[in-house]
Structure 1
Amino acid sequence: MKTSVDLLIENVERLLPGHEEALMGVSVAVDAGQIQAIGPATKIAGLFDGSRTLDGTGKLLTAGFVDSHTHLVFGGERSGEFVQRCAGADYENIASKGGGIRASVRMTRAADLQQLIDSARPRLQRMMESGSTTIEIKSGYGLDLESELKMLRAIRQLSEEFPIEIVATFMGAHEIPDEWRQDRAEYIRIICEQMIPQVAREGLAEFCDVFCERGVFDTQESTQILQAGLDNGLKPKVHADELAASGGSLVAAQVGAISADHLMEVTAEGIEALKSAGVVPTLLPGTTFYLRKSGYAPARSLIDAGLEIAIATDRNPGSCTIESMLFIAGLSVMHMGLTPTEAIIAATRGGAHALGREARCGTIETGKRADLVLWDVPNEEVLIHEFANQVPRIVCAAGRIVFDSHIASIERSDLTSDQGV
């Protein structure tokens, strides 16, 4: 007698990533939000009946993307800066005149909680529909207690609305706000003694991140802030070695951070430190691309050193508005030397490691959450070759189909039969 399950995906051409390597010619049984079985198509067909069945013939099945680094909640928009950069201005010059992060801080402080939720919702929807089933979101555009809490409460509300997993990170150490530029030590005290304890009391974040960079937070300040986070149960992450070799990777290793992100300027010493401490390098090629810079992170050096890397969008209001993890994977192949297989693994399994979620998502394995994306291509090489064009056939989050390309456009159009054409 066959076992009834919620979903069967049959005759998949190729499955990636599995436990060790890609599988071919398999079917996947899903029930109660989890992957129940994976095996040869004929075997699975003899064991299970699906309440819904999807034909995977000629199609690639990947794990849902894990976007482990975003700044998705913010007030206002900064399209004017994009136009300025395209006309020749650089990011640092714009920031020195009150733009950049400081501009987003002003607009985020001015927005109320509901405005932040409403503006972020369509961004999250698009990301989910492009295949992201786990998304990390940082605060960091408030830079005072109430505004940081407002951002994190918006993230919490969004996590309750969406069927995907949303992970919150506190990042009050994103920049020194204007009102504390003459007394940065006092602002750091506020982060450590007021913001972090309150965030922890309300259970608003899992991680604490800091922008360790010259002109922002130095290595000593970054260590102090991350240690305060650890003391309050927040696991550390670091924006590291983005603009210069500022020691961020060494800080990440010292405090036992789960990830060190950006790393365009990481040194050989930094790479060795990350490896020794088991820190996941998270690379963000979309930011380099969007800012029209040439110095991409040294992905091959990190991989050749034995590190498993993650890639992520860094979706934010100013330096990267890319929301598609597939687009990021394409950039990784074009500009960082990854193979298509490595890029998909970095966007799934690597991202799960960068969030400490490798036991529940990031690969297609029995017992893991059924976060799955079915693509109308036979393999990852075709998928990456067409990274700017491909839309998922199906996105499944915890066993629930949350996007179906065959019907979603009709639902969104809100058409009725008497409207005509």
Structure 2
Amino acid sequence: MTYDRLLIDCRAATMVPGAPYGAIDKAAALIRDGKIAWIGPQAELPVDVKARQTDRLDGRWITPGLIDCHTHLVFGGDRADEFEMRLKGATYEEIARAGGGIVSTVNKTRGASQPELLDEALARLDGLKRDGVTTVEIKSGYGLEHEAELKMLRVAREVGRVGGVRVSTSYLGLHALPPEYRQDRTTYVDLAIDEILPAAHAEGLVDVVDAYCEPIAFSAEEVARLFGKARALGLPVKLHADQLSDGGGAALAARYGALSADHVEHTSEEGVRAMAAAGVVAVLLPGAFTILREKTPPPIEAFRKAGVVMAVASDCNPGTSPVASLQTCLTLACVQFRLTPEEALAGATRHAAKALGLQAEIGTLGAGKAADVAVWNIETPAELSYWIGKPLLDRAYLAGEPRA
């Protein structure tokens, strides 16, 4: 049988559970039809194997392409002014209640054209791609009205078509209350749940439904209504949970079988137990934790003891995590949250895939998985969580083809 591509003379961090990093020394991999057909020790490679293309990697490490499972990549403008305000003492809540925060980005996003939003998103994506990212989750949530929310999701789909990455979209209509509905909250919640979500779903724009559950955002009761609608439409859910306070968000996510609960700095022991029982992934967002200068880290040891798997993501957004580098977030997860480098890399590969419901397709290097592969100029996988700013990526493959 002839294969499309042979990767040879490499070391593989497959990220399959078992040996540290799932490592294979002196490895090779065969790719056919965009998938890994075989991976293992090079000595076990059949001598008569035929491949249309052979790539000798000169001892470099390969890993699964990295997965950024929580981003707000599509938005208009930035909020550098608010960053300066916070450094002068203003809190995130104070800025939000004064009409800044998410609402200020809403105005810029509504005013931007679809091509403008695409150009800005692709520029941010470049930073993630330089870090070996091959899959990106992108949320709506800065439109907060019918056409603007669909515009964001259409741009996210276009990023997947032209950006050289796989894209998973999340509808985040319950992200913030738009200013025109400040005196009529119920009407907006009804609109977001009963009109915008079904319309986006009908157009094929939604993979997952998300919400922001905090006192400054939406209540558990409002989120439960949204999740009920998502369930009726056959869509999985995830949740911004317990970022600023323990509002029971993790337990709510567990009750609806969410793919993930994200942020989770203030998640209680009860919430941890509920996540473990429901198989909910904890998505750690150390960029936001650092930028907001938070003091309470997620309950990492409780997650470990309970068996809650932990993903790591950039949370790339204009306000609380203007971070377009997933590798930087791996380093921050180790330094701020005390993850090990192996835990951090698992958090950006197999656990991130689970947080998107895509673990059957991506996240590890194994037969039948998508041939999304990052090739690194490193001596050990721990370097991916060690260096900040040093270019480490040699090349990346998406579905077995070299990515420009």
- Structure 2 length-normalised TM: 0.95
Deviations 1:155-203 (A, max 9, x none): 1222222332101111110011111111211111111211111112111
The range that moved more, 360-369 or 195-204, is 195-204
Cross-structure match for 2:129? 128
Q: Name the CA distance, whole Å, in 1 between partners of 2:177 and 2:154.
A: 22
The answer for the alignment partner of 2:301 in structure 1 is 300
- Residues 72-151 of structure 1: matches in 2 within 5 Å? 72-151=73-152
Could you tell me which amino acid in structure 1 is paired with residue 95 of structure 2? Answer: I
The aligned amino acid for 2:188 is Y
Partner of 1:7: 5
**What's the secondary structure of 1:235's corresponding residue?**
coil
CA shift at 1:151, angstroms?
Answer: 0.8
In 2, the alpha carbon distance for the partners of 1:147 and 1:382 equals 41
Instruction: Give the Cα–Cα distance (whole angstroms) in 2 for the partners of residues 151 and 180 of structure 1.
Output: 20
1:114-142: CA deviations, max 9, x gaps? 21112111222332232111111000001
Aligned to 1:408: none
Count how many residue pairs are aligned between Structure 1 and Structure 2. Answer: 401
Percent sequence identity is 36
Shift, 1:307, TM fit: 1.3
Where structure 2 has 5 or more consecutive residues not aligned to the other structure, the ranges are: none
> 1:357, 1:322 → 2: CA distance?
24
Residues 50 and 294 of structure 1: CA distance in aligned 2, closer, same or farther (over 3 Å): farther
Which range moves more in the overlay, 234-243 or 289-298?
289-298
Match of 1:237 in 2: 238
Deviations 1:260-309 (A, max 9, x none): 11100000000001111111111111111122223222223212211111
Rounded to whole Å, the distance in 2 between the matches of 1:173 and 1:334 is 32
Whether the 8 Å contact between 1:164 and 1:398 is mirrored in structure 2 is no
**Equivalent residue of 2:360, what SS?**
coil
Name the aligned partner's letter for residue 8 of structure 2.
Answer: E
1:17 paired residue among 11, 15, 18: 15
Alignment correspondent of 1:336: 337
5+ long unaligned stretches in structure 1? 404-421
Structure 2 residue identity aligned to 1:129 = R
Match of 2:164 in 1: 163
Counterpart of 1:320 in structure 2 is 321
Correspondence for 2:32 = 31
User: Does the residue aligned with 1:71 lie in a helix, a strand or coil?
Assistant: coil
Verify the 8 A CA contact 1:129 1:402 in the aligned structure 2: no
Residue 212 of structure 2: aligned partner: 211
Q: Is the 8 A contact 1:59 1:379 kept in 2?
A: no
In the alignment, the residues of structure 2 paired with residue 254 and residue 241 of structure 1 have an alpha-carbon distance, to the nearest angstrom, of: 15
Which residue in the other structure is 1:260 paired with?
A: 261
* 3-state SS in 2 of match to 1:328: helix
Distance 1:67 1:383, change over 3 A: closer
Q: Give yes or no for contact 1:284–1:313 (8 Å, CA) kept in 2.
A: yes
Structure 1 residues 213-257: Cα deviation after superposition (integer angstroms, max 9, x where no partner): 113111111101111122122211110000000111111011111
Matched residue of 1:322: which SS?
coil
Q: Given that residues 200 and 233 in structure 1 are in contact (C-alpha distance below 8 angstroms), is that contact kept between their aligned partners in structure 2?
A: no
Hey, what does 1:43 align to over in structure 2? 44
Is the Cα–Cα contact under 8 Å of residues 300 and 337 in structure 1 kept in the other structure? no
**Counterpart residue identity of residue 184, structure 1:** R
**After the TM superposition, which of the residue ranges 36-45 and 136-145 deviates more from structure 2?**
36-45
SS in 2 for 1:239: strand
Q: Which residue of 2 aligns with 1:384?
A: 385
Q: What does residue range 344-363 of structure 1 map to in structure 2 within 5 Å?
A: 344-363=345-364
Q: Is the 8 A contact 1:17 1:363 kept in 2?
A: yes
Larger deviation, residues 279-288 vs 154-163? 154-163
Alignment TM-score, normalising by the size of structure 1? 0.91
1:416 alignment counterpart: none
- Does the 8 Å contact 1:129/1:395 carry over to 2? no
Superposed CA RMSD in Å reads: 1.6
Contact 2:26 2:59 in 1 (8 A): no
Q: Which amino acid aligns with 2:157?
A: R
Describe the SS at the equivalent of 2:349: helix
Is contact 1:210-1:239 (8 Å) kept? yes
Looking at structure 2, the residues matched to 127 and 226 of structure 1 have their Cα atoms a distance apart, in angstroms, of 30
Return the letter of the residue paired with 1:254. Answer: R
Matches of 1:389 and 1:279, distance apart in 2:
33
